[in-house]
Amino acid sequence: MFRILFHEPRIAGNTGAAIRLAAVTGAELHLVEPLGFDMEESKLRRAGLDYHDLAVVTVHADLDAAMGALLPANVYAFTASGAGLYTDVAYQPGDVLLFGAEPTGLPASVLDDPRVTARVRLPMLPGRRSMNLANTASVAVFEAWRQQGFTLPD
CA atoms within 13 A on the CB side of 40: 0
> Is 154 inside a domain boundary?
no
Whether residue 133 has pLDDT greater than 80: yes
Please work out, in degrees rounded to the nearest 5, the angle formed at the alpha carbon of residue 33 by the alpha carbons of 30 and 34.
Answer: 145
Q: Which domain holds residue 14?
A: 3-147
Q: pTM value?
A: 0.93
Whether residue 109 has pLDDT greater than 60: yes
Per-residue pLDDT tens digits for 12-62: 889 989 999 999 999 999 999 999 988 876 766 665 556 777 899 999 999
Q: How many domains does the chain have?
A: 1
- Residue 7 sits in a domain whose CATH number is 3.40.1280.10
pLDDT at 128: 84
Return mean pLDDT, the chain.
Answer: 92
> Is 19 inside a domain boundary?
yes
> Is 84 inside a domain boundary?
yes
* H-run or E-run covering 60: strand 56-60
pLDDT at 136: 96
